[in-house]
Amino acid sequence: MNTQQFIPNSQGLEKSIEKITFSWKTPSNIALVKYWGKSNPQIPKNASISFTLNNCHTHTSIEFSKREKSTKANFELYFEGKKKDDFKPKIAKFFERIEEFCPYILEYGMVIRSENSFPHSSGIASSASGMSAIAMCLMSLEKELTPELSEAFVRRKASFLARLGSGSASRSIEGPIVVWGEHPEIENSSNLYGVQCEGKIHPFFENYQDTILLVDKGEKQVSSTIGHNLMHEHPFAEQRFIQANQNLSKIYKYLKNGDINAFIELVESEALTLHAMMLTSHPYFILMKPNTLEIINAIWQYREETDSKVCFTLDAGANVHVLYPEVEKAQILQFVENKLSNFCQKKQYICDHVGLGATKL
C-alpha cells in the first residue's frame, strides 16, 4: 500500500510561518453498507459506502504558532468554549499516529477550538466530523507550507489522516456519496482514504433526507473500538466481509439505476446485519433499545399502509436514521412528529439531508 505518497518532501516544507489559523466545518456521515471489523492501522476488512450529511457537523479552528521542535505534539483543546482535557488522550494518540505524515506539527503549538452543531452526547458519533475537521485544518497548514499541492491531493490526504483518527471519518471529507475500502468494481477505491462515488447518481437520491431519531442519548455500553476488535474472533466474520463487498456492488448499481425497492431492502438488511454481528460476538452485546424496535416496526407498518419509500438504518447505537426521498419530506416529517418522536428521548430528532463534505470557513 502506497502510504509513501503522504510523507511530505522536507524540502517543500522550508517555508516558515509564525502564526496562522484555519477553520473548517466538516459533516458526519451515515453508512449504507457498514464498516465493522478492521486490521492495523485502521484498515477496513470490507469496503463501505455512506451518505455525507449536512446539518450534523463539527466546526473546528486550529491556531498554529511556531515553536521549538519538540518530540510530541503540543496542543490545547477547547470544546464548546471550555477546556476539555478528557478528550485530549484520543487526539494525542491521533497526532502520534500521523506524525510521520505531518512532521511539521511538532514545530507548532496548536490551540484547537471545536463545536458540534448537534447536541452534545446525543448519541451521534462526533468522531467522524471531529477528526475530519482536524485533518482539514492540518492540511490547510501543509498547503500553506507547500503551495504546489493540488486541491485533490489535499482532500485525499485529509481523508487518509482522518481515517487514522476514526475509520469512518475518512468518508466525511467529500460528498454526497463516498466509498472507503478497496473494491474491485470501484475504480480508485482504497483502504487508505475515501473516494467520491463516480458517475451519475439517479435523481431519486438527490438531496436524500435523513431524520435522526434520538432514542438514547447516553454513552454507548460498548465502544466501536471494542466492537471492531470483536470481529477478529467472530464466527461469521469472513462471510460478513464477503457479503458487505457484494452489497456494495449491488447498492452502487441501485444508486445509479434508481431501483429504490432494492435499495431499501439492502440498506435495512445492512443495518440489522451490523447489529446481528454485535448480538453474535463473544462477548455479545445489544446497542438497540426497545424503542429502536418500536420505530423499525412503525416504519414497516407505514410502508405497508402507504406507498412511501421511507426506510431506516442504524449506526453503532440505539438511534434510528430515517431515510427518504425529498419528495416525501412533508409527509414523513408529519409521521415523525405524530408517531415516531414518541419513541425518542424528550421527543427529540434532528432533520438532516445529504451534503457535499468539508467546507472552509
Stretch that binds ligand PMV, among 101-109, 160-168, 298-306, 342-350 (CB under 6 A): 160-168
Comparing CB distances to ligand PMV, the nearer of 125 and 230 is 125
By CB under 6 A, residue 291 contacts ligand PMV: no
Nearer to ligand PMV, 34 or 353 (CB): 34
Of the pair 136, 145, the CB lying nearest ligand PMV is at 136
Q: What is the maximum span of the chain, computed from C-alpha positions, in angstroms?
A: 67
Site string for ligand PMV, 307-336 (x = CB under 6 A): --------xx--------------------
Q: How far is the CB of 171 from ligand PMV (least distance, A)?
A: 7
Nearer to ligand PMV, 74 or 196 (CB): 196
Task: Return left, alpha or beta for 84; rule: phi > 0 is left, psi -120 to 50 is alpha, else beta.
Answer: beta
Nearer to ligand PMV, 194 or 325 (CB): 194
For ligand PMV (CB under 6 A), the number of binding residues is 15
Question: At closest approach, how far in Å is the CB of 167 from ligand PMV?
Answer: 4
Contacts 24+ apart (CB under 8 A), 252-256: 252/49, 252/179, 252/185, 252/186, 252/197, 255/177, 255/197, 255/201, 255/202, 255/205, 256/199, 256/200, 256/201, 256/202
Closer CB to ligand PMV, 264 or 278, in the complex = 278
Enumerate residues 6+ apart whose C-beta is below 8 A from 63.
19, 20, 21, 110, 111, 113
Q: Which stretch binds ligand PMV (CB under 6 A): 138-146, 154-162, 166-174, 243-251?
A: 166-174
Asked if 166 is part of the footprint of ligand PMV (rule: CB under 6 A), the reply reads yes
Residue among 284, 247, 273, 240 at smallest CA distance from 262: 247
Candidates 216, 205, 194, 191; CA nearest to 325 is 205
**Single residue of 167, 176, 325, 357 touching ligand PMV by CB under 6 A:** 167
Its sign, for the CA torsion 173, 177, 183, 186, is: negative
Enumerate residues 65-124 that contact ligand PMV by CB under 6 A.
Answer: none
Kindly give the interhelix angle for 88-98 and 151-165, rounded to the nearest 10 degrees: 130
Nearest alpha-carbon partner for 41 in 182, 211, 160, 202: 160
Taking residues 183 to 222 in sequence order and writing x for each that binds ligand PMV by CB under 6 A, - otherwise, the string is ----------------------------------------
Query: Cα(63)–Cα(356) distance, rounded to whole angstroms?
Result: 25
Q: Nearest distance from residue 68's CB to ligand PMV, in Å? A: 34
When the beta carbons of 112 and 274 are compared against ligand PMV, the nearer one is 274
Cell 466509498 -> residue:
179
Interface residues for ligand PMV in 238-267 (CB under 6 A)?
none
Q: How far apart, in whole angstroms, are the C-alpha atoms of residue 194 and residue 149?
A: 19
Q: What residues numbered 17-76 form the site for ligand PMV, per CB under 6 A?
A: 31, 34-36, 48
Nearer to ligand PMV, 53 or 145 (CB): 53
Residue pair 240/37 in contact by the 8 Å Cβ criterion: yes
* 47 or 145: CB nearest ligand PMV: 47
Calculated CA dihedral for residues 161, 166, 170, 172, nearest 10 degrees: -120
> What's the CA gap between 225 and 50, in Å, rounded?
19
Choose among 204, 182, 185: nearest CA to 255: 204
Of 224, 245, 281, 341, the one binding ligand PMV (CB under 6 A) is 224
Contact set with ligand PMV (CB under 6 A) = 31, 34-36, 48, 125, 127, 166-168, 224, 228, 274, 315-316
